Amino acid sequence: MSAEQATNPPTPRSGPSRRLRRAAAWTGAGSLLLVLGMVLLCYFYYPAGLGKEQPIPFSHRVHAGDKEISCLMCHTTATGGARAGIPPLETCMLCHRRIIITYPKVKELREHYFAGRPVPWVRVNDLPDYVYFDHSMHLLRGFDCGKCHGDVKGMDRIVQPQEFKMGYCVQCHRDNGASHDCTICHR
Amino acid sequence: MEPISRRAFLGLAASAGVAIATSPPSKLADRLIPYVNPPEYPPSGQWATYATTCRECPAGCGMHLWHRDGRVTKAEGNPEHPVNCGGLCARGQSSLQGLYDPDRLRAPQRSGGALASWPDAITSIGDKLRNRRGRVVVLSDLQTGALREVVESFAAAFGGAALFWEPINCEALCGAHDALFGLPQIPAFRMEQCRLILTFGADFLDTWISPVEYAAAFSRMHAFREGGMGRMVYVGPRLSMTAGNADDFLCVPPGGELAIAVEMLRAIAEKGRPKGDARTLTAHLKALSARAGGLPEGVSRARVESLARAFVESPSSVALAGPAGGSGSAARDLAMAAALLNYAAGRIGSSMDFAAPHALSRAAGNRQAEALLEGLTQEDILFLLGANPVYALNGAEAALRRAGAVVCLGTMPDESAALAHWTLPVDSPLESWGDYEPRAGVHGLMQPTLSRLHNSRPAGDLFLEVARAAGKPLARPGGAGAPENFEQWLHLCWRELHARLSPLTPFDLFWHDSLRRGGAYEKPAEVSVQLRPVADSMVERAVPARLVNDSRLGTAGSTTTDAELWVWPSVMLFDGRVANRGWLQEAPEPTTSITWGSWVELHPRKARALGLSDGDVVEISNERAAIELPLLVTEDVAENVAAVPLGQGHTALGRNATRRGANAFRLLGGVEGPTAFGPVKLRPAGRSAPPTSVAPTQDQYKRELLQWMPLARLRAMNPGDGNPVVLPLPEGFDPRRDLYQGRKYDQHRWAMVVDLHRCTGCGACGVACYAENNIAVMGEEQLRVGRELAWLKVVPYRKEGSRRLGWLPMLCQQCECAPCEPVCPVFASVHDGEGLNAQVYNRCIGTRYCSNNCPYKVRRFNWRNNEWPSPLERQLNPEVTVRCRGVMEKCTFCIQRIRNAEHVAKRARRPVKDGDILPACVQSCPTRALLFGDLLLSDSEVSRLTHNDPRRYHVLESLNAKPAITYLMRIEQDEPV
């Protein structure tokens, strides 16, 4: 304790500079709070939420929203089978063989493609175990993908709009007069 | 226990908190890794089927392999294949367990188990060949087509010999047909068109030559049609599965079959105007009757004569000769007698057709294999390809130890591989290219159905590479090219076939069409058959001494410790090569329901004379070996017979096969006596070790579970006659009987019909169910305490008041008023909207009330968490839940297949058609005994039979559970022939 007091020089006590410093500190703290507040605001009140970060920041808003590319263009097996499917890199290259090939993230994608190295996308939508869901049956019934997947056209980073729990499924099956036999989904 | 201190408690609580907060890495996959460039086929996450050829036995059935995301999960019969027409036996189903066998060879090994690299192995073996001083000999299992060519040219290149040997080879048939007609062949037996099948110990529904094909043909000839049905007469010493399906079973001691056959021949020759060359026939008959004994006890001359009359007078008939494992002179004599019967009745060219000889005709017999091995010296190099002579051939072990070098090419670490200097793992048939011609004109093609699992190589490539390393690259015979690898070799072979079969279509089209269909099929050319005169050697052969007195056929002349050996390949384990597969070990043997072991069957009188009872261990010995087996006392064998199944008693091969039962091949050898397998001595071993049976009784206790209907009664009935069954539909509601209104179904009401008359009891459905529904193999200890998991069991029952056997496939009856449903406290057992009795695993808390209340006893409880030793877990069906401990499970009618078919129909915007849905058991059934469909569809086959077939009944109908499975009674012939 005594050593500390000995090493610390006495604080200068000049009036104006001390006031200035206090004002500056307040301003700094205030603006920091403001920025933080803005960031939090953006984060939480972002149009449709912000999902998990992906190895390459693929934006569904740009592709499905701005460019109006159909979901089925990339998720090709959704109408023909149980799974919607994650598109192979080959699908990206349908366009990005020629389009904005100098954009750094597209460049990265192209590197993956030419090296034959798949992109390890992070799983967003998670279906619980022991459920056998079939995409094609729901699309055939005329449901839009957005019914379960939310406003994908507005999402840069995809987020799962709700947990796919049994209550959610059963409620929809009830509302639409679909069977809610156990064996419809469980085997 | 000491009270926990405050400090320790806080420490524990803190570390638990840290552990939870830092959340250990989740086992769930949280990355999605798609293809860069997807393959064109199969689509990711969807089923694809590949056609290939089954190589589990010489029958060579066509298969469809269900492939998904890089692994195959189910083997099914190929409906387009001319051999099996869609059915597949238990062993064919189990080919997947052979592929994923956890004990498979994974890398090249030197003797002693030291691992080596492929280049090492190939150069080292190549050097051995280069510096050889002796012969190079190849002993292979039966191959035809490209691999046979490769092996033959390999042996030829090094001046050696190649032998294609099968342990169960029917060489007696080849020998007999050679002696009689100059054709050392096994003809095609066209049983479908026959009205009478007469079999002398040939178990053609179990394992004899081509069981799936014959079972299908038998079920058609034996079906009730236009007021009649075909008849099968079985003459033999044991009530095998085939004998159980016979209309007449003449239980005779070994050797008695020949006596009956010769007596029949005599009756035909003397009274019945034989077809063909009567003089030569008489000469043959004379030669044969010198070697045959008198008629066995209990079979009268009049009976034999009426049998002979029926055989000749029936529009078409065929006589078959067994046993499958018999190789001595007695088996050949019997085969000659049967062939002569066919000749005398004019069946050559019709029901016994030499135009399409079976591939087994090209297999070497035991005698040839023994000769080959006996000649081995210190200098010789022996290559074994898929053959396991140490297990299946007496004396082979010494020969292998004598040989200079043994190179074993195989998939399993079997007894022969244990003695080999080099063990080279080859691809499983499901991973390989190849072809196989099960009978002339049926060119089956094999293609890889998934990429290889281990560090193995195609067998053909290995021969090519070793030859290249030894400085003698192989080329196809006749200068038809020197392919780089086996696949090219196969292509060249098929180019020749293409030029012959369809020269007008482009080769690629022909090739892809053959791949899709599982092969290319042609109609073979006709052959003319002439009876040869009696060869001198056949007449002069000495009559065996024991034959001089006829008492050999009874018990009078023999001591109580003597018995005639009768060795039979079991329908599940065949010659033992598949013994490491849990499904087959766990599948009950059809006649005894015994699993996981082998046993000896003795007649009660014999057992009493020896002072033995059920379960006592007996030592069975002859001059070659002595084995010990537990006893099963049964009246199903002739009195002087000791019947032993083949397939068990391995000393290597893997975890399920090793040290289980005893190896009956040890007792076999070239027998030159009046019976196929010769006499054995029996001696009590003084201990008891009963085998594990999963059907404790075959008695029905008057419950009429399995019913028979006399043919005469059926003939008088019209569709709709007979006892109506209470349908599992609203119309089955009766206020006097039922508490609740019947359920209404809007879409479907799934139901099944089981034609017991078609069911031969082979158990293929049970194994198919294991494969499809992720049913775990429990093991012998668990089965012994009744903890079996089989959803479908084919239970043998006796007809009330007789020894007649029938089989009752018992699976969940999907009852309308299911007794299991109201007793479940948590609604885990519920009825669904399509009539299925669903089991909800997540709700189940394991009270087992449902199982207690189920009158059919088809619910199975998981007493433990089951494990699939890697890589067996890759066989699991991704569409079926893997159940955990504490959960009840049962047949779901293959709900996953129902859903798939519904989805396919919905996508095509059409209703589900009758026949769209094939549950695994229905698909696999060789005889089409099982039928699945929708009861609401008035024109479905199931609906028609349930409403109208006079033979329909429900098991335990009096309980009013209203089962959805309707059984059709077995039909009984009016009077014996």
**Per-residue confidence (pLDDT) for residue B544, from 0 to 100:** 43
Tell me how far apart the alpha carbons of residues B465 and B110 are, in angstroms, rounded to a whole number: 18
Contact status, residue B207 vs residue B167, Cβ threshold 8 Å: no
pLDDT, tens digit, 9 for 90 and up, residues B706-748: 999 999 999 999 999 988 899 999 988 998 988 888 889 999 9
Confidence tier at A11 by pLDDT (50, 70, 90): low
**Per-residue confidence (pLDDT) for residue A18, from 0 to 100:** 84
What is the pLDDT averaged over residues B156-185? Answer: 91
- Among candidates A81, A90, A121 on the partner chain, residue whose Cβ is nearest the Cβ of B36: A90
**Per-residue confidence (pLDDT) for residue A8, from 0 to 100:** 54
Residue B559 has pLDDT above 70, yes or no: no
Residue in chain A closest to B903 (alpha carbons) equals A137
Confidence tier at B526 by pLDDT (50, 70, 90): confident
Q: How far apart are the first and last CA of chain A?
A: 72
Tell me how far apart the alpha carbons of residues A133 and B750 are, in angstroms, rounded to a whole number: 22
Cα dist. B437→B362, B507, B519, B575, B660 in Å? 11, 20, 9, 21, 34
- Tokens for B912, please give them: 């589900």
Confidence tier at A14 by pLDDT (50, 70, 90): low
Query: b/e map of B566-590 (b: 16 or more CB within 10 Å)?
Result: bbbbbbbbbbbbbbbbbbbbbbbbb
Residue B28 has pLDDT above 70, yes or no: no
State the angle between helix axes of B329-344 and B171-181 in degrees (0 to 180), rounded to the nearest 10.
50
Q: How far is B517 from chain A (nearest CA, A)?
A: 25
State the angle between helix axes of B329-344 and B256-271 in degrees (0 to 180), rounded to the nearest 10.
30
Residue B24 has pLDDT above 80, yes or no: no
What is the pLDDT averaged over residues B2-26? Answer: 78
- Tokens for B424, please give them: 């080279």
Query: What is the helix (H) or strand (E) element at residue B392, kind and residue range?
Result: helix B389-392
User: What contacts A69, CB < 8 A, 6 or more positions away?
Assistant: A63
Residue B543 has pLDDT above 50, yes or no: no
DSSP state of B431: G
Tell me how far apart the alpha carbons of residues B342 and B208 are, in angstroms, rounded to a whole number: 18
Tell me how far apart the alpha carbons of residues B498 and B505 are, in angstroms, rounded to a whole number: 8
Tell me how far apart the alpha carbons of residues B258 and B466 are, in angstroms, rounded to a whole number: 49
Residue A9 has pLDDT above 80, yes or no: no
Residue with tokens 């997807």: B38
Listed in sequence order, the DSSP H helices in B447-575 are 459-469, 486-501, 507-517, 536-540
Q: Do A187 and B903 touch (CB under 8 A)?
A: no
Where in the sequence of chain B do the CATH 3.30.70.20 domains occur?
708-972
User: Can you say how many angstroms the Cα of residue B442 is from the centroid of all Cα atoms in its chain?
Assistant: 20
Using DSSP bridges, classify how beta strands B965-968 and B750-755 pair: parallel, antiparallel or unpaired: parallel
Q: Do B899 and A122 touch (CB under 8 A)?
A: no
**Per-residue confidence (pLDDT) for residue B496, from 0 to 100:** 92
Where in the sequence of chain B do the CATH 3.40.228.10 domains occur?
171-362
Contact status, residue B542 vs residue B290, Cβ threshold 8 Å: no
Q: Do A186 and B881 touch (CB under 8 A)?
A: yes
Residue in chain B closest to A178 (alpha carbons) equals B833
User: Can you say how many angstroms the Cα of residue B491 is from the centroid of all Cα atoms in its chain?
Assistant: 31
Tell me how far apart the alpha carbons of residues B957 and B796 are, in angstroms, rounded to a whole number: 20
- Please state which of the ranges B384-393, B522-531, B610-619 shows the lowest mean pLDDT: B522-531
Per the model's pLDDT, the better-predicted residue between B322 and A33 turns out to be: A33
Provide the sign of the torsion angle of the four alpha carbons B336, B341, B346, B348, taken in this order: negative
User: What contacts B907, CB < 8 A, 6 or more positions away?
Assistant: A79, A80, A136, A140
Residue in chain B closest to A132 (alpha carbons) equals B879
Q: Do A183 and B29 touch (CB under 8 A)?
A: no
> What is the helix, strand, coil percentage profile of chain B, to 5?
30, 20, 50
- Among candidates B35, B892, B903 on the partner chain, residue whose Cβ is nearest the Cβ of A187: B892
- Tokens for B235, please give them: 């003459």
Q: Which fold has domain B551-693?
A: Barwin-like endoglucanases (2.40.40)
pLDDT, tens digit, 9 for 90 and up, residues A111-147: 999 999 999 999 999 888 889 999 999 999 999 999 9
> A82 at the B interface (CB within 8 A)?
yes
Contact status, residue B643 vs residue B238, Cβ threshold 8 Å: yes
Write the burial class of residue B969 (CB in 10 Å: 0-12 exposed, 13-18 middle, 19+ buried): buried
Q: Do B907 and A179 touch (CB under 8 A)?
A: no
Q: Which fold has domain B708-972?
A: Alpha-Beta Plaits (3.30.70)
What is the pLDDT averaged over residues B373-393? Answer: 92
Q: How many residues can be counted in chain A?
A: 187
Q: Do A126 and B838 touch (CB under 8 A)?
A: no
- Among candidates B32, B834, B881 on the partner chain, residue whose Cβ is nearest the Cβ of A123: B32
Where in the sequence of chain B do the CATH 3.40.50.740 domains occur?
109-168+363-521
**Per-residue confidence (pLDDT) for residue B523, from 0 to 100:** 86
Does B429 sit behind a cis peptide bond, omega within 30 degrees of 0 on the bond before it?
Answer: no
HEC string for B669-717: CCCCCCCCCCEEEEEEEEEECCCEECCCCCCCCCCCCCCEEEHHHHHCC
- Tokens for A75, please give them: 């998720």
| pLDDT > 70: percent of chain B | 96
Q: How far is A186 from chain B (nearest CA, A)?
A: 8
Write the burial class of residue B79 (CB in 10 Å: 0-12 exposed, 13-18 middle, 19+ buried): middle
Residue in chain A closest to B832 (alpha carbons) equals A181
Q: Which fold has domain B171-362?
A: Dimethylsulfoxide Reductase; domain 2 (3.40.228)
Residue B495 has pLDDT above 70, yes or no: yes
Q: Do B32 and A121 touch (CB under 8 A)?
A: yes
Confidence tier at B553 by pLDDT (50, 70, 90): very low
User: Can you say how many angstroms the Cα of residue A89 is from the centroid of all Cα atoms in its chain?
Assistant: 19
**Per-residue confidence (pLDDT) for residue B23, from 0 to 100:** 59
Q: Do B34 and A86 touch (CB under 8 A)?
A: yes
Instruction: Report chain B residues touching chain A, CB-CB < 8 A.
Output: 28-38, 43-46, 830, 832-834, 836, 838, 840-842, 879-881, 892, 895-896, 899, 903, 906-907
> Which positions in chain A touch B908 (Cβ < 8 Å)?
none
Can you give the residue ranges of every domain in chain A?
A: 60-185
pLDDT, tens digit, 9 for 90 and up, residues B808-866: 999 999 999 999 999 999 999 999 999 999 999 999 999 999 999 999 999 999 999 99
- Tokens for A183, please give them: 């064996």
Q: Do B45 and A132 touch (CB under 8 A)?
A: no
Contact status, residue B807 vs residue B813, Cβ threshold 8 Å: no
Q: How far is A185 from chain B (nearest CA, A)?
A: 9
Residue in chain A closest to B34 (alpha carbons) equals A88
Q: How far is B2 from chain A (nearest CA, A)?
A: 42
**Per-residue confidence (pLDDT) for residue B518, from 0 to 100:** 94
Count of CB pairs separated by less than 8 Å, A with B: 103
pLDDT, tens digit, 9 for 90 and up, residues B303-347: 999 999 999 999 999 999 988 888 788 899 999 999 999 999 999
Asked whether the ipTM of the predicted complex exceeds the cut of 0.90, the reply is: no
Residue B550 has pLDDT above 50, yes or no: no
Q: Do A186 and B28 touch (CB under 8 A)?
A: no
> What number does CATH give the domain B109-168+363-521?
3.40.50.740
Whose CA is closest to B669, among B971, B373, B969?
Answer: B373
Q: How far is A76 from chain B (nearest CA, A)?
A: 11
Residue B391 has pLDDT above 70, yes or no: yes
Q: Do A118 and B33 touch (CB under 8 A)?
A: yes
What is the pLDDT averaged over residues B874-897? Answer: 95
> Which positions in chain A touch B836 (Cβ < 8 Å)?
183
Q: How many residues can be counted in chain B?
A: 977
| pLDDT > 70: percent of chain A | 87
**Per-residue confidence (pLDDT) for residue B555, from 0 to 100:** 40
- Among candidates B32, B36, B896 on the partner chain, residue whose Cβ is nearest the Cβ of A187: B896
- Tokens for A33, please give them: 């709070």
Confidence tier at B977 by pLDDT (50, 70, 90): confident
